[in-house]
A and B are shown apart, each in its own frame.
Chain A
Amino acid sequence: MSLEGTDVAATDAVTKGGATNEDGTSEGAPLLTLSDVSKVFNGDLVALNGMSLQVRAGDFVSLLGPSGCGKSTALRLIAGLSHPTSGKIDWTGGQGAGDLGVVFQEPTLMPWATVAQNVWLPWRLRGKSYASVKDKVLEALALVGLEKFAGSYPRELSGGMKMRVSIARSLVTNPRLILMDEPFAALDEITRHKLNNDLLALRAKIGCTIIFVTHSVFESVFLSNRIVVMAARPGRVIHEVAVDAPYPRDEEFRTSSAYAAHCRAASDALHDAIGD
C-alpha cells in the first residue's frame, strides 16, 4: 500500500481497455478527468479546492474524508448538477445520455410507484415504454436479487431492500460510471456488510466503474482499488491510497492481514486529513 503525493491526476494515460487488474490496480482507459476543479459557495466558502482526479474504466474509487470536505460537492459536479467555479471536468469521448447512474444516501424511490416502475424511470425519462425495456428492468432487479419484488411498493420493503432497488435503478441503463454518495451509511452493520459483498459481486458481473463516497475506512478498503482521502476547510484531496488486493474479495479478505494493513494506511491518511 503506497501513499502517493497530492498530485493524484494520473499523468500517464494508460490506453489499455478493460476493467481492474487482477491485483486491484487500475489500468483501464481514462473515463473521466477532473483538472484543478474548485467550487466556491457564497463568495467565500471553498467547498472544493483544486481537485484533480482521473478515473479509469473499471476503477472503484472511494472518496474518504471528514464531514464537510466536499465529497458530495465533488459528486454533484461530476453529475453535472452544479458547475465548477474553476477547473474542468472532461468525459473521454463526451458524456452521452444514460452514461451516469447515481445512488444517494437515501434510497430516493418514488413511493407512489412500484419497484419495477422505479427502476424503469431512467428509461422512461428517455422515452422508452415499459414493454420495450422490461427485460432490462427485470435483469437489473435480478442483479440485486429483487426480481420477486417487482410489483411491490417501496414502503413494503426494508431499508436494505430499498437501497438495492436504488442500485438497480442506477445500473439499468448500463452506465459508464456510477456515483454513490454514502449509500449504506444509514443501514445497520450487518446489512451493510451484506450489501458491500453484493456490490462487489455485482461489479464483477457487469464491470462498471464506480465513485463511492464514504466515511468508513473499512468500507473504502474493502470495496475500492483507489481511496482518495480528502480534508476539509478548504475541501481538498490530500492523499491517494492504492488498495492493491485482488478481486474478487470476500469475507476472508475482511480478516486478512493485507486488509488490516490497508486499513491502517487509509486510517493514517485520514488522520492527516483531520489534522492530528
Chain B
Amino acid sequence: MAETRMAETEAPKTRPGTKRIIDREEAARARRRRIESIGRWTLPLVVLVLMIVLWDRICVWNDIPKYILPRPGLVAETLWNDAPILFKALLITLRTTILALLVAVIGGVGLAVLFTQSKLFEMSFYPYAVVLQVTPIVAIAPLIFIYISSKIVGMLLCAWIVAFFPVLSNTTLGLNSADHNLRDLFNIYGATRWQRLRYLQLPSALPYFLGGLRIAGGLALIGAVVAEYVAGTGGVGSGLAFTILESSYRLNIPRVFAALILIAATGVVIFMALSLLSHLLLRKWHESALKRES
C-alpha cells in the first residue's frame, strides 16, 4: 500500500498542465539508478587509487628495490620522461594492430560472404579457418618470421591470424541468421543473390559482425604484441612489446611498467572505440541499443 501511494504534492494527471506523477516505487528506482550511474565511474576509480596506494606502501614497507618493483610515482615519472620513446613505440604497435584489424575485417567479412554464397566453398575451407584459430599464435609466429622477410608484413600476418576468426565466424552466423519469413519474402519477389545479400543478409549480419569486431580489436592487439616478442630485434618493428622485452633485459623495470600501462590503455581505448561505433550504427533499430524500462 505504502509502495504505491502518491507523493503528497502531486495531483493525478487528469488534464494537461498538471504535475507529473512519480510514485514511491518509481522515485526509489530513479534514486537507485542515479547511485548506480555514479558508482559505475567512481567505484573503479576508488579501487584504482587504493591499489596504487597499497602498491606504493608495499614497496616502502618491504624496501623493494626499483629494479624489482618500482614505486608508482617512479612509473609515472618514467611515463612522462620517456614519453618520446614510448609514444613512438605505441604508434608502431597501434599501426600493426589497426592494419591487422582492417585486414581481418576485409578477410573475415569477405570469406564469410563467400561461405554463404557457396556451401561447397564453406565445407572445403571452414575447417581450416578453425585449425588456424585453435593453433596458438606463439607456435606459428616463429615460422612466419622465417618465411617472411619483411618484419612489418610478418607482424601483420600474426595479428591478422588471431583477429580474423571472430569476424569470420560471427559474420557467417549473422549472414545465415536472416529472418526466415523475410527470406521467403525475398524469394517471392524474385530477389537476385546480390539483392538478397545486399538488402537482407548484410544488414542482418551487422550486429553479429560488430560483436565479432569488438573481440577482434582486443585480439589484434594481442597478436601484434606476440608478433613483436617473436620478431625480437629492434629496427623497424620496435613497438611497445619490444620495448618491454628490451627494458627488462636492461633491468629498466620502471619503463617496463610504463609500456605495460600504455598497452593496457590501448586495449581499453580500442574496445571503447569499437563499442561506440557499434552503438552509433545500431542505435536506430537494434534491440541491444534500446534502453530498458527498469
Contact = CB atoms under 8 A, between A and B. Distances in A.
Interface in B4-47: none
27 contacts: A76-B184, A79-B184, A79-B188, A80-B187, A80-B188, A81-B184, A81-B187, A98-B189, A100-B188, A104-B184, A104-B185, A106-B181, A108-B179, A108-B182, A108-B185, A112-B285, A112-B286, A121-B189, A124-B199, A125-B189, A125-B190, A125-B191, A126-B190, A153-B284, A153-B285, A155-B285, A155-B290
Interface string B182-203: 1011111111000100011001
A125 B186 contact: yes
How many chain A residues sit at the interface, stated as a range, is 20 to 34
A124 B184 CA distance: 16
B74 interface: no
A126 B189 contact: yes
A91 B114 CA distance: 37
Contacts of B186: 125
A111 interface: yes
B262 interface: no
Contacts of A112: 203, 206, 284-286
Interface residues of B, number: 21
The 4 closest A-B pairs by CB, nearest first: A108-B181, A125-B189, A112-B203, A111-B285
Nearest to A97: B190
A125 B195 contact: yes
B285 A121 contact: no
B181 A122 contact: no
Interface string B250-293: 00000000000000000000000000000000001111001000
Given A97-B189, A126-B189, 17 more contacts: A81-B187, A81-B188, A100-B188, A104-B184, A106-B181, A108-B179, A108-B185, A110-B182, A111-B286, A112-B203, A112-B206, A124-B199, A125-B186, A125-B195, A125-B199, A126-B190, A153-B285
Contact of A154 (B181, B285, B290): B285
Interface of B: 179, 181-182, 184-191, 195, 199-200, 203, 206, 284-287, 290
A146 to B, nearest CB: 17
A97 B191 CA distance: 11
Contacts of A121: 185, 189, 199
Helix, strand, loop or mixed for chain A's interface? loop
A134 to B, nearest CB: 18
A144 interface: no
Contacts of A124: 199
A121 B290 CA distance: 25
A63 interface: no
Contacts of A113: 203
Interface string A147-159: 0000001110000
B186 to A, nearest CB: 7
Interface string A71-115: 000001001110000000000000001101010101010111100
A230 B181 CA distance: 24
B188 A102 contact: yes
Given A124-B199, A125-B191, A102 B285 contact: no
Contacts of B199: 110, 121, 124-125
Nearest to A98: B189
B185 to A, nearest CB: 6
Contacts of A76: 184
A153 B284 CA distance: 7
Contacts of A154: 285
Contacts of B179: 108
Contacts of A122: 189
Nearest to B190: A97
A98 B66 CA distance: 78
A112 B174 CA distance: 14
A110 B190 contact: no
